Each structure stands twice: as C-alpha cells, then as structure tokens.
Amino acid sequence: MGDSFGNLFRITTWGESHGAGVGVVIDGCPSGLPLNEEDFQNELDKRKPGQSKITTQRKERDIARILSGVFEGRTTGTAISVMVTNEDAKPHAYDHLKELYRPSHADFTYDKKYGFRDWKGGGRASARETIGRVAAGAIAKKLLHHWNNIRTIAWVEQIHDINSSVDKKTVEEKQIEASIVRCPDKDASEAMIERIHEVRKSGDSVGGIIRAVVRNVPAGLGEPVFDKLTADLAKALMSLPATRGVEFGMGFDSVKLKGSEHNDPFVMQEGVIRTGSNRSGGIQGGISNGEDIDLRVSFKPTATINFEQNTVTRDGQEVKLKAKGRHDPCVLPRAVPMVEAMINLVLADHYLRNQKRFL
Amino acid sequence: MGDSFGNLFRITTWGESHGAGVGVVIDGCPSGLPLNEEDFQNELDKRKPGQSKITTQRKERDIARILSGVFEGRTTGTAISVMVTNEDAKPHAYDHLKELYRPSHADFTYDKKYGFRDWKGGGRASARETIGRVAAGAIAKKLLHHWNNIRTIAWVEQIHDINSSVDKKTVEEKQIEASIVRCPDKDASEAMIERIHEVRKSGDSVGGIIRAVVRNVPAGLGEPVFDKLTADLAKALMSLPATRGVEFGMGFDSVKLKGSEHNDPFVMQEGVIRTGSNRSGGIQGGISNGEDIDLRVSFKPTATINFEQNTVTRDGQEVKLKAKGRHDPCVLPRAVPMVEAMINLVLADHYLRNQKRFL
Amino acid sequence: MGDSFGNLFRITTWGESHGAGVGVVIDGCPSGLPLNEEDFQNELDKRKPGQSKITTQRKERDIARILSGVFEGRTTGTAISVMVTNEDAKPHAYDHLKELYRPSHADFTYDKKYGFRDWKGGGRASARETIGRVAAGAIAKKLLHHWNNIRTIAWVEQIHDINSSVDKKTVEEKQIEASIVRCPDKDASEAMIERIHEVRKSGDSVGGIIRAVVRNVPAGLGEPVFDKLTADLAKALMSLPATRGVEFGMGFDSVKLKGSEHNDPFVMQEGVIRTGSNRSGGIQGGISNGEDIDLRVSFKPTATINFEQNTVTRDGQEVKLKAKGRHDPCVLPRAVPMVEAMINLVLADHYLRNQKRFL
Amino acid sequence: MGDSFGNLFRITTWGESHGAGVGVVIDGCPSGLPLNEEDFQNELDKRKPGQSKITTQRKERDIARILSGVFEGRTTGTAISVMVTNEDAKPHAYDHLKELYRPSHADFTYDKKYGFRDWKGGGRASARETIGRVAAGAIAKKLLHHWNNIRTIAWVEQIHDINSSVDKKTVEEKQIEASIVRCPDKDASEAMIERIHEVRKSGDSVGGIIRAVVRNVPAGLGEPVFDKLTADLAKALMSLPATRGVEFGMGFDSVKLKGSEHNDPFVMQEGVIRTGSNRSGGIQGGISNGEDIDLRVSFKPTATINFEQNTVTRDGQEVKLKAKGRHDPCVLPRAVPMVEAMINLVLADHYLRNQKRFL
C-alpha cells in the first residue's frame, strides 16, 4: 500500500522488472491538454537502459502506449493509463539469486515485509518501476509549461569525488544532453565518463549528486504546515531508488553561516519584490517565493557489483555471492529524468492545490 | 490545505503563535492505550521556550489539556483532541512588522499565497505550531514503546562549525538531557553553549545538525514504492520549520565510496540475519531492515536576528528592519523533541500500515 | 480512524457527549472569507437541544468559539479550529448503563470494536458530535453563498406515517422555520407535532424523512467514477446518526417507471440547455446538471425509549432495561440543520475539486 | 480526480467503452494470496454483455489479464494491474451521437465539466468501466473468504413493478444463478423475463431493485464517525451507474415503526450476544454487529431506449433523437456482480482498517 503519489495530480505505478510490463495511471490531469505518445518518448529515452556506452546494456525500447484518458488527441480529464511492455525478459538470468540476499538491495527487506519476493531482477524494487513516474512526469511537464512556462532542469553535479562547476542560472538542457553523463561542465563530464569506465572494468560502481533548478515558479506554491513544498519534494525524491539525502538552497552548508550571513534580503527589482540572494533555494516557510527552486539529491553507489561479496541465504547460511553479467556502474545519468519527473509531479500537484481565495 | 499528516496514525494541528492556543487532533490511535496529560508534559517541556538560558525567553507554561478521546485513563480509539492555551500574548509587540517582510521568514510567501497574513509573531508559521506535533508524538512514542520497545533518540550533533563526537550505538537520553544544548559530547556541548552566548550577544543566530537513531525497529516497515520509510521520514522532517536537508545512513558522504565499499554485507549473528555494517542507516529499498535507523537533519540559522537588515514593505518600499526585543539565537536544543516527535509519528503510522499477510 | 471527511474542504470532528466539549478542525477553507462566531450560531441554534417543547430537554447553550484560522475577521487559509464546551454534564446520570447494551444503540458495537466504550450518554456515538459538522457546514454555506449563491434547503417531509405536501421549487427557509417541527406544510406540521407529543407521553419515539433541495448549483460538480456527487452525498448523509436510507430524484420510485417515462428530455430555455423535467434530481452520471439537486434521507425512530426492553449485559446476562429521565421522541427537527450541513460540506468540497481545464 | 476508491484496499480503474481496453490497479492486497486469472473470470462472466437473451448483445469475451503484482501464483503485496482488452469496437456506430445529448445520460454533464467528451458509447461513463471494479471485487471476495468466510450474496428483488419473495436467510448463489434475470423466486423470475422481453420489443427499458446480504461478518467493522460501514457502502453503491437510492435494514420503511417496534433486542444465543431481530440490517452506530448485513439498491430504467426523444445539440438546437441498434432493456441481472463487487471492496477495506487495540 504505497503505489500512489500526489493529491490532485495523482499517479499510481505498477509493474515489475520481469513481468508483463510496467505502467502508470494518472488521475487528476485537467481535461483538454493535447497529449500523444511522442510526449512520453523523449523523457523515456533519457532513462532507457542502453542509451550510451556508460549505462547498463539491458536492451529495452521502452515504447509507451496510451490505453485510456486521451480522446482525439486531448486529455479527457479522467484516468490516463500508460503502459510499456517488458521486452528483455531473461527468465533464467536471475535463478542464482532466488535463495540469497544481495547486499544493500531490497531482497532481504521485501522478504521480511511480504513473506516472499519476486526475485527476478529486483521485481518491484527495480528502477524499471520509474518508467511509470517518468511517463507521468512528462504530462506534468507539459502542464507546467502551459501554466507558467515552469521549467525543471536537472544535471549530474558530482560523480564519486569528481565535482563540476556549472552556472545554475543559465545552464540549459542542450548543454546537459551534450554530455552522455549529463554533466554540462565539459571537463568534469570527461573525467566522470573516465571514472565510470574504470569502475565498470573493475566490476565496481559509483554514486553521485544530481542538482536541479526550477525556473519561473510562481510565488505561493506549497501547503503548510505539513505539505510544504520542501517536504513534498523531499518525499518525492527520497522515494527514488538509491537516494540517500536531499537538501534545499544552501542545505547542510547553511549550518556554517550565521543568520546575518544566510538571510536573503528583500529588494525591489523592476517593480517586483525579489530576494537579493537565493540561499533559501526559492522556498521560504515551505512556500515558493518566486525565485528559482534549487536542490540537490545524493545517490549511493549502485548495489549491484561484480565483486565477490559475503551474504546469507534465505534460510540463514553464510555464502559468497558474485554477480554475473551486465551491471550498471553508475545510475546517475539515467536518474536525471527521474529527478526531473518527480519534481514536475510535485509542482503540478501543488499548482492544482494552490487554493482559490477571496483576497 | 496541509494541516494533516499521516495515514493510519493521522494528526491535524491548528493554532497560531498569538491566537487562543494551539492544538492537535489525533485520529487512529488504537484503543485501550493508557494515557494522561503527564504523558505529554515531559515532551512539551523539552520544546518549551525559556527552559534554559540559551533559548528564547518567551514565557509559556505550555500545559496540555486532553479534550476528547480518553475515557477512564485509556484511549477510546476515536479522535483525541489536545490543546495548549497561549499565555504570553503581547498584542502590540509585533505592530512594527505588520507592513514589512522579515528576510527569510514566511511573511512574504504567506502574503503571496493567502492574500494576507497573521503578522503576530509568525502566526501559523511560528514554531509554536509544533506543540501539536510534539503532543501527538508523545502518544506515538508510547505506542512504539508498547509494540516493540522501539526508541527514538535525537541529539544536537553540530552547532555552527562546532562538531561533536558521540557513540551513536550507546548514547542515551540521560546524557543528552544533561546538556542544555542537548549535545552529549561534554566538550562540544560547552563550546556550543559558548558560541550561542556569543551570537546572542551580537544579535546574531546559528543553525546546526540534529542526528537521530531509532533502536529496536522491526524489519518490514515502509511501503514501497512511494511511501518508503526514507521518503516519509524525509517529508516529516522537512516539514519542520527551518530545516534545509535530511540524509540517511552515510547520506551525502555515500557518494565518496564505491559500491564495494558502501554495500552492507549480510551476516548471521546469534541465528539472526543482520548486516555487518550499517552504512544504509537501517533502511534498504525503503523498508526497515532491523538495524538502527540513522539520520541527520540540518537547520539553517534562525531568521530572526537583532541586526539591521534590508527589506521591503507590502507595498514595495525598500526599508531597514531592526528586530526588537527577545530573539532565539539557536533553535537546535528545542528542535530535538520536534525531530523525535516527527520520527515517532512516522514509525507509529508505518507500524499500523504494515499489512496483514498470508505467508 | 474515521473522524475526517472531505478532500479539499476537509473537516475533522472530535469530542464526546459528556467530555470537555466537542469541536471541529476545518482544513482547506480559502483565505479571506469574512467569518465570525455569529456565523455559526444560527446553525447551531437549529440543532441545539431544548430549542422547543418537542425536542430533548437537555440544557446546552452550544456557544461556538473560534480558536484559530481567523485573523482580523477573515479566514487565513489555514486550519480553523472551533470548539463548543459541554455544559450539561451529569456525571452519574448514565451509571446504570455502564454494564449493559441499550438496544439499537452503538453500545455493543463500540465495545466489540474498541474493547471498551465511553458509556456516558453515547460518548462518541452521541448526536452531540454533529455540532462540529454543523459548525463546519456554516462555513461551507457561506462559501457556497459567495461562489454562486448556492443554497441548500431541507425540511421534514414525513414523521411516522404523516406525510406532507410541499412545493419544492418555491419553499423557503422562513416557512420551514415557522414550524417547530420544521415542516412547511401547516396541516402536516400540526399533525406531526401532535404525534410527537403522543409518543413522548407513551415513552416511545418516531422517525421520519427529511427532504432537501439545492438551488443554483452550477453544472459540472462531481468527480466520476467513484466520487460522483450522488456517491459523496450518500456517504455524507449516511454518516449521520440514525439514517437508514438515501435516494436522489425519483429514487426507489424510479423503478416503477419505464425509461421512456423516466428520462428527462433536454430543452432550450432562454438560451440555456435545461431539462424539461427533473426526475434525475439534478445529478446525471454523478455530475450536477444545473437543475436543483433533490434528495431524501430516512431516519429510523430514536433508539432511546422509556419502555422496558430486553437486553444483555457486557458479560452476557439477560436483563431488563428501562431508560430513565428525558428522551428525545423525534430527532427529525434537529436533524434538518445536520442534513443541510452535510450537503453543504460536500458541495463546497466538490466546488473546490472541480478542476482547472484547458477547454 | 475520482478514479480511486478505498483506503487500505484501494482500487484505481481506467478505460473507456471504445478505447484500447479497461482495467484496474489494486493497491493494498496483502501478500501471499493465491491468485490467478480464473479467479476473475467467473465474476466477469456474470457482468459480461451477451451472456443471455435478455441482456445487451454487444459481443465481448472480457478476458482478464494480470499484468503485475502476482508472482508464482501468489500476490506480492504490491500493485496488482489487471486489464481487459476491448474487442467490440465499432468506430462509427456512435457518430450520430457526437453532437447531441442523449436524455438522462452523462453526455451533457461530461461536456459541462470537462469541456468535451469521449462520445463513443458513453466513454468513461459507460458501464464497461465496472469491469475493473468487478475484477478487483473478485480479489476482495477471495480475501473475505480466507479471513472469516464472509460471503456476499446479491439478487434481483424487483424489476419494474414485479416484486419477488425470497428467504434472505437461506438463499444461495446457485438458486440465483439458475435464473437468467438473477431472481431466485421462480415465478417472479419468469414474470421479470417476460417483462424485459416486452420492453425490449417496444424499445423501452425498465429498472429495479437489487438486494444483498452479507453473512459471517465479524462485529466491529466500520470507522465512526464518518467512515461508518453504512456510509462507505452507500457511497460504493451510489457510485455505480444508474443507481438512485440505497437503504439498510428496514430502510425507508423504518419510518413507519415506532422505536419500541423497531429496536432490536439483545439476546443470548449459544453463549453469544445476538439480536433477536435484525431490523438494523447488521450495522448499528455505523459498525457491524455480527448479524447479516442487509441492504437494497435501486436502479433507474436504462437511459438508452429506442424511442424518439426530444433533446438538444451541443450548440443548443432542439432536435429529435432516435437511438439505433442494440440496447439493453434492463441492466439489473448484470448489475448483480457489480453490487457484490462494491460490497466486497468495502468489506475488505474495512477488515484491513479495523485497528489493532490494546484491550
């Protein structure tokens, strides 16, 4: 009981890594939005395995099919069902994992919670589940574009210990997409690609940090005291596989400043109230203030590695595990569209939730 | 529309800083739990203003009164209403703030969202709202104690640039409460107190980091794919005032490790499956694995300072603001019970949500 | 876990018959609505005990107090807390009911569900709980008035076997309030009052039917396929104590007609699409069609009677029960404001839910 | 935004009459339940068009396919996705309905709400949507069987003015299924079939009443004060197409009795507390009392008739409509499995919601 997300723009995802397919039902999309299957494909292609030499080589075309909720090219206002058929089913590729727990995977916890688990390729815990999120995020993105030209831009800021230098005020999708690791800093991008090749060769993996900004957010989004925009974004992002932390504006580094150094002074700019700095990351008191939203998410190194590891079997025997075959040494490039999707889902939901008022 | 939190253990808080009072309605507390007003008081006293020389000097006794849902000393299973009357109402203390926006407060965003705002001492955005959370958290704490002796322990790990060294496996509440800054490392505690005195004198403020561990958590709590335990804890903590980031286990530092260094191997200990390390912070695939939950939350420096600051008025005039009177130079010590409350609320909710199964 | 109702205009009620008081927290009321305590009082007075010689003689003033969510006379957009203190507490009046189950009351089922119960005057199952609903309904009524002059009018259509004849298109509140039984048909009203006096004297009780119409409802309210307006109204009304059935338009009598007799033809009236008849009761496909909503709710005879009745004790002994003291021979007149409140709560919620669209 | 139903056993349906298919996602089914596609088929066959000479002759096989949530024959505890492909797509059969509003259908209200509509065979408002409900209901039925052998039995009690006489305490599914109109009273069944033939020939339609009992319900299900079992069942049933009213126990007829005649006395039977009569229909104070649940739902005559009717076009021209081709003269027989499904969904949800307690 946790397969739905959102309040007024609400998604429910379904599907396992090696079942019939994966999909999503979107409830609450306003009627009349032009929508077709191509709207999904650009986003799905960004998260697709096998898109470049540095990602997992699982072969999937990930073609989205709209099953309901769109009539004559426009959304009807009722449930939109989108499905992607699984193609790369290798029924026996995971047989050796059936009885043992891969370290830092969800195998053990699913077994403890549900009494048994779908052990084929991660089952429900597979990142393949995020296809439904990314498809739904593509609709949210379109809505946000229509409403206020709200645009979410995410990129890989750090891989392992390789950091980058990016101007968050001006960076555009084109620069990000020019890098197969989705880091718009060219030098860093090259170093990151090299690092990923290294760890792939050694059978190891690396994690990293994705940064995202959202531009043109109107002031007023966020529902205190619990559904603050920070709170809902944090939940959305921490529901992605492999995430370990999230921070807004100056985040953990805000601790190093005093109040007099951290506060964002209000100023007038072209007749509009703005803040002179944006250490708050665009959200104050849990509500957007009209400045760019600025956040960072950390992803741990992928748990699947081609190393021999100590583990135990379901019945409690200590054994050695050595994963076979393809592994994804770094999920970060493919996580960029997932991060964007989750942010867009939260913003579309909050845009719809922002209540009528009498003043 | 965001004043409720939780699914099966659900709270709704109400109240403003300078209104009649603040309170909470708890829906979903199992029936038959022994409960009386003293159960709340210990927790409320920890978050009370004026409890030590380093906190704000607002005078409030914060006496909780149970208005419903308890009969003959036990919970009835229906709505529990708890109220605290506001006593330190200074109707004119905030008159000078009526028409201008305090930097990095919620004044501006509330005005943009709602069209106007309760400008007396923060109104709904005041940390005084957390009284309802802390009261409800005291019930959750009692439930968790009954169920599995689940215990949440939080402390101040860092203030400004003063870090501490604490053994998270053994630290107990007594050591934490021995420090007025709620840091169980004696040297660090003294340095922190001194730093808070310094910034108070200069009219400035500091933030910091609270760390929390939860012991005796059974494996299996958390509801993938969206209501992962990490996701719901992140939302809960990021809904507290002044929070800027949250991380689990190794958090952002996990990025610096390779998969082979970060994975937690499974081992057998006294016939039970455990992990040999706990870099995951007790949660894998969004579900508790039976190890201690381990997390950190960062709080920015308090926005209220006694410095002259640049700001603007509601009608767009640039002005100087200098706050008058008492200010809270560091919210961290009083935030400890808030953090504990939010964690306990999430865990009680997930304990109730952990579904019946046939295997 | 069932003390809340509504989605975007969401209420949570609390309180027992003989506890400290009863109240409600309203989440989702738009900001800026002028609101003061007098807005509640008219509605509360209509449901108050002791308001006329034919209702229960419990003495309560039922004075509503706003505890939060209103600032300088207008709603702030955050949680509104309203409380009514219980005054007529007779701590020992119910001692004889402590160990036995009153027939057709909720005593037995509460005991089975919760393990014990608040046995003082019905506890949480008391109709006194509806004070919170009526108070919240008063806010919904005000919103509906502002939005489209939407007006709900309910009256007593039948008591026991005494039916009335009322022109539902023209009946107004004034005519209804002119009758202490709230039946605007004078002859029927007199007969009803006489019947209630008779059953009071004999220690018995009677039920009846309340009819309601809602005028000026815009077409388009209702959220298929599950949150149809009929469905949400049915739930709202069936959540009131003592209700046994609800029907819309021709209701159960629609069965006696053929499709050709029941269908409402569309016609043009003054340039607007209307239906030539309103057998559908203003709702088609679960969505309002702009005609008056028309519905009926049945209430069983009150369970409390001054007759000797067979029953059993908690520990399974068969005993005789004879209720002592005051009893309410007919709840219908006081149920009229409850019915209106529930309808208004549903309509305000659906008005807010009616989504933005692109066409 | 209304395509989901339920709290802990939560379903989301999708699909239109003439789109790619219809389906449902079930969230909250406990793990480990044996489940395969045959479990759905028996229920789906009961609601299938063309199953007998008295229903609509649309040709659909309605074969359910499980897309997720079942692994090695058992439910995994995560989202179960079930789909039925639409086969009888007649793209041009509805062209003449594109621009006009069929009386007492949802055409007009969908247009007003959403700005346009899927006009092919009712689109989302088609009874075809209930396939998802019936499929999900089959899972709920299985759960209820496992838990307490809880069994829901529904039948056609009345068609037009033809009433039946059925012993609700003993009637079994076999007797109901022996009648193509699903009325276990043989004489009434024959008269009903004849009446349906008559109205079919004349191009007209009839409605009726479905009665349902639920056996072996444990005492304690229902969540006061809003999510009473009566309230949630009423909502569930009123969300079905063409329903006009619902009543419990004696329902509207309870009005004709006095309290002394209506109250159900408690008695001891074989050491268990029971009620000597069941005028309450198994629910008191919104909570099941262990007696059979007893309810009735009324369905208006089907709106589609082969009569010439007055109506208007989208742009407000008065025109004549004469429907062409097949029509369903009476939906009642096929509505029986829908009613059973909705009841089972509510009971499974409330079984899961029935909270842990300490007494």
Mind listing the pLDDT tens digit for each residue in D260-302? 999 999 999 999 999 999 999 999 999 999 999 999 999 999 9
* D8, D77, D357 member nearest B357 (Cβ): D77
What is the overall mean pLDDT for chain B?
95
Q: Which of B146, B349, B356 to probe the D interface (max D CBs under 10 A)?
A: B356
Share of chain B above pLDDT 70, in %: 98
Show the low-confidence residues of chain A (pLDDT under 70): 57, 89, 91, 325, 359
Q: What is the pLDDT along chain C (359 residues), one digit of tens a residue?
A: 999 999 999 999 999 999 999 999 999 999 999 999 999 999 999 998 888 888 776 778 999 999 999 999 999 999 999 999 998 767 677 888 899 999 999 999 999 999 999 999 889 999 999 999 999 999 999 999 999 999 999 999 999 999 999 999 999 999 999 999 999 999 999 999 999 999 999 999 999 999 999 999 999 999 999 999 999 999 999 999 999 999 999 999 999 999 999 999 999 999 999 999 999 999 999 999 999 999 999 999 999 999 899 999 999 999 999 877 678 899 999 999 999 999 999 999 999 999 778 86
Determine the residue type at A204.
D
CA dihedral of residues C76, C81, C82, C84 (deg, nearest 10) = -160
Task: Answer yes or no: do B356 and D30 touch at CB < 8 A.
Answer: yes
What ipTM was estimated for this complex? 0.98
pLDDT score of A59: 76
Contact (Cβ atoms closer than 8 angstroms) between residue B18 and residue B60: no
Q: pLDDT tens for residues A197-222?
A: 999 999 999 999 999 999 999 999 99
- Which residues on chain B are in Cβ contact (under 8 Å) with D31? 355, 357-359
pLDDT score of A85: 96
Q: Looking at the domain assignment, is residue B217 inside a domain? A: yes
- Beta partners for residue C5, in sequence order: C11
Q: Give B269 to chain A, closest Cα distance, Å.
A: 10
Task: Answer yes or no: do A355 and C77 touch at CB < 8 A.
Answer: yes
Distance CA B339, CA B232 (A): 13
Q: Which domain holds residue B87?
A: 4-353
For residue D172, count CB atoms less than 10 angstroms from its CB and return exposed for 0-12, middle for 13-18, buried for 19 or more: exposed
| Mean pLDDT (whole number) for D48-65 | 83
- What's the token pair of residue D331? 């939906």
Q: Give A184 to chain B, closest Cα distance, Å.
A: 19
CA dihedral of residues B230, B231, B232, B234 (deg, nearest 10) = 80
pLDDT score of B325: 67
- Which residues on chain A are in Cβ contact (under 8 Å) with D122? none
Q: How far is CA A194 from CA A142, A176, A181, C335, D22, in A?
A: 35, 17, 10, 75, 48
Whole-number CA gyration radius for chain C: 21
- Which residues on chain B are in Cβ contact (under 8 Å) with D220? none
The count of C-alpha atoms lying within 13 angstroms of the C-alpha of A236, restricted to the half-sphere facing its C-beta, is 30
CATH assignment of the domain containing C77: 3.60.150.10
Task: Answer yes or no: do B32 and D352 touch at CB < 8 A.
Answer: no
- What's the token pair of residue A156? 């890989």
- Which residues on chain D are in Cβ contact (under 8 Å) with B28? 355
Distance CA B175, CA B185 (A): 8
* C77, C78, C357 member nearest A77 (Cβ): C357
Determine the residue type at C282.
G
Q: Looking at the domain assignment, is residue B132 inside a domain? A: yes
Alpha helices in A247-303 (DSSP H): 259-262
Domain tally, chain C: 1
What is the interface size between A and C, counted as CB pairs within 8 Å? 49
Task: Answer yes or no: do C32 and B68 touch at CB < 8 A.
Answer: no
Distance CA C312, CA D272 (A): 10
What is the overall mean pLDDT for chain C?
95
pLDDT over threshold 80, residue D46: yes
* A208, A254, A285 member nearest B109 (Cβ): A285
Closest CA to C21 of C83, C67, C91, C90: C83
Show the low-confidence residues of chain B (pLDDT under 70): 57, 89, 91, 325, 359
Q: pLDDT tens for residues D188-216?
A: 999 999 999 999 999 999 999 999 999 99
Q: Looking at the domain assignment, is residue A59 inside a domain? A: yes
Q: Give D79 to chain B, closest Cα distance, Å.
A: 9
Distance CA A206, CA A162 (A): 11
- Which residues on chain A are in Cβ contact (under 8 Å) with C78? 224-225
Q: Looking at the domain assignment, is residue D358 inside a domain? A: no
Contact (Cβ atoms closer than 8 angstroms) between residue A133 and residue D79: no
Q: Give A21 to chain D, closest Cα distance, Å.
A: 7
Q: Looking at the domain assignment, is residue D37 inside a domain? A: yes
- Which residues on chain A are in Cβ contact (under 8 Å) with C225? 78
Q: pLDDT tens for residues B92-125?
A: 778 888 999 999 999 999 999 999 999 998 899 9
Q: Looking at the domain assignment, is residue B320 inside a domain? A: yes
pLDDT over threshold 90, residue D59: no
Task: Answer yes or no: do D31 and A74 touch at CB < 8 A.
Answer: no
Contact (Cβ atoms closer than 8 angstroms) between residue C255 and residue D247: no
Cis check for the bond before B225: say yes or no (omega within 30 of 0).
yes
Q: Which residue's entry shows tokens 């000078």?
A: B96
- Measured between CA atoms, the residue of chain A closest to residue B315 is A273
- Which residues on chain A are in Cβ contact (under 8 Å) with D32? 114-116
Distance CA A146, CA C14 (A): 42
* C244, C246, C353 member nearest D249 (Cβ): C244
Q: Which of D31, D37, D78 to probe the A interface (max A CBs under 10 A)?
A: D78
- Beta partners for residue B81, in sequence order: B25, B68
Task: Answer yes or no: do C355 and A224 touch at CB < 8 A.
Answer: no
Contact (Cβ atoms closer than 8 angstroms) between residue D212 and residue D340: yes
Q: How far is CA B152 from CA A103, A267, B43, B220, B348, in A?
A: 26, 43, 13, 17, 12
| Complete DSSP assignment for D115-172 | SS---STTGGGSGGGHHHHHHHHHHHHHHHHHHH--EEEEEEEEETTEE----TTT--
Q: Looking at the domain assignment, is residue C79 inside a domain? A: yes
- Which residues on chain A are in Cβ contact (under 8 Å) with D125? none
| Mean pLDDT (whole number) for D115-121 | 92
Task: Answer yes or no: do D357 and B32 touch at CB < 8 A.
Answer: yes
Main-chain dihedrals φ then ψ at residue C297, nearest 5 degrees: -125, 135
Task: Answer yes or no: do A299 and B103 touch at CB < 8 A.
Answer: no
Task: Answer yes or no: do B355 and D31 touch at CB < 8 A.
Answer: yes
pLDDT score of C211: 98
pLDDT score of D187: 98
Task: Answer yes or no: do A4 and D22 touch at CB < 8 A.
Answer: no
Q: How far is CA C316 from CA B42, B168, C117, C313, in A?
A: 42, 54, 16, 5
- Which residues on chain C are in Cβ contact (under 8 Å) with B132? none
- Which residues on chain C are in Cβ contact (under 8 Å) with A78? 224-225
pLDDT score of A113: 96
Main-chain dihedrals φ then ψ at residue A345, nearest 5 degrees: -65, -45
Q: Give C103 to chain B, closest Cα distance, Å.
A: 21
SS3 B265: coil
Q: Looking at the domain assignment, is residue A358 inside a domain? A: no
